[in-house]
Amino acid sequence: MAMWPLKMFFKDNSPGLGAWQETYSASKTLIQWHESGIYWGFFYDYFGLTGDSQFNDWVDDQMQQAVGPNVGFLDEITKKTGRWNDDIGWWALGVMSAAEATKDGILAPKNPIEGQNPRYIDVVNTTFIQMYEQWDDSCGGGMFCECLLWSRDRTTPKVNDAYYKSSITNAQHVDMGARLYAYTKNEMYRDYVDRVYTWMLSSTLIDPVTYAVADGLDSRACAIDRTLFSYHSGELMSGLATMYKATGNQRYLDEAHKHFKHVASHFTFNNILYDPMRGPAPIMPNGFMWPVYRGIGVLYSITTDDSIKAQIRTIMAASAAFNFQPCNSIWYCIRDLDPSTDRTLWNGTSPRDQFEVVAILNALVVITGAPVIQHVQDKTPIVTGDGSTKAATGANTKLALYLGIGFGCVALILVILIVVLVVKRNKALSSRWRIQKGKCIRARQGRSWLKVQ
């Protein structure tokens, strides 16, 4: 089971309010807020796919710190200065996985606090509305976003940042709205999905020919930043495929296929998924590809196109073989890199390696046909010896191996066999990739890399 190293690297922290805190050196510690939302989503996805609840109470406890009494991730201070639309979007998408995996589930039922145990679905709905509050009609529409520096506060002294509408916020909103619509059948969500996605098309943030998704636009002159990141396409694949499943409208599936074809052509190297913005091989781990694995898994489980399914199987087998190479017999998959490598801890390790493996495994389970099962949540508080209640650590170890459930087991074993067969080939490929000559340039304020031939 590959989940345990994720918890090993998490440091409970009051300043982080449930977020993952990363120590780069004795003098440099950062709270990774947006990645933390994806991080918690891994655990909720894992529970929904396997039924193994051993992490649930711990994850809920951290999420409860972040939500507080607000039924969402904003309060009177952070709604302007601390957490921006793409950040809260990742957290809400993670909570959506919890809602999908439980029947009328509530946050942290084992730790009852007045006003701080909302339904998962209510947290997602609150965030969905808060994100859309940042929509205006400049450039025909679109939501503003924070992505590194772009603030919800339009009076920010960083003038350029105040006008940026990023594709990831709008793509998240499409995915979130689709999942809310599938869950509730409320037509309001479908209307929002159609409005936001239509704007992304009409604004040409989505290239009408290639379906490359630009990073965003400056609303003053509607100038588009054509930098490409893979996670835009991952979110849109997931949302559009979900809309097809919920409505039966072929148009949604056709659009999802176009985004997949762009991913297959632009974000693969010898069938291995990678994001060019994180460099060759991939040397510097980061979170761009995680939503892509999830989106591909969702698309595979829904599409009726056998050729798409075959291509996905090929891509996921190659990607798994490449990324599973560092894993040992107990699924510890974190490499020892040069400590100077970007996005690593003080000793050269990065939990993002493990995140990558878990994201792939979750997607593989979906690809095998294992459905998300809606469980009845145990809402009985844990009572201590003095009669008070406290949060549980939770344990349900009925699943010793991470092999999916039900009829998905056999198919996943076949996928793993494919992975084993191509490991040797990909080890050689990895060596060639690492020594490729090329110039790497800093991009996005030094946070990532772009390979230029």
Where are the domains positioned within the chain?
2-368
Return the structure tokens found at 308.
Answer: 């798409």
pLDDT, residue 416, reads 57
Is residue 52 within 8 A of residue 399, CB to CB? The reply is yes
- Structure-model confidence comparison of residues 123 and 152, the more confident one: 123
pLDDT, residue 412, reads 52
Task: Give the pLDDT mean for 84-111.
Answer: 94
Query: 395-443 pLDDT, tens per residue?
Result: 333 343 344 333 344 445 545 555 554 444 444 444 444 433 332 222 2
pLDDT, residue 120, reads 98
Look at 166-170, 364-368, 369-373 and tell me which has the smallest mean pLDDT.
Answer: 369-373
Look at 43-52, 247-256, 429-438, 444-453 and tell me which has the smallest mean pLDDT.
Answer: 444-453
Mean pLDDT of the chain: 81
| pTM (two decimals) | 0.85
pLDDT, residue 150, reads 40
Burial (CB count <10 Å: 0-12, 13-18, 19+), residue 407: exposed
Q: 303 pLDDT band (50/70/90 cuts)?
A: very high
> Chain-centre distance of CA 261, in angstroms?
20
Q: 446 pLDDT band (50/70/90 cuts)?
A: very low
Domain 2-368 in this protein, CATH class: mainly alpha
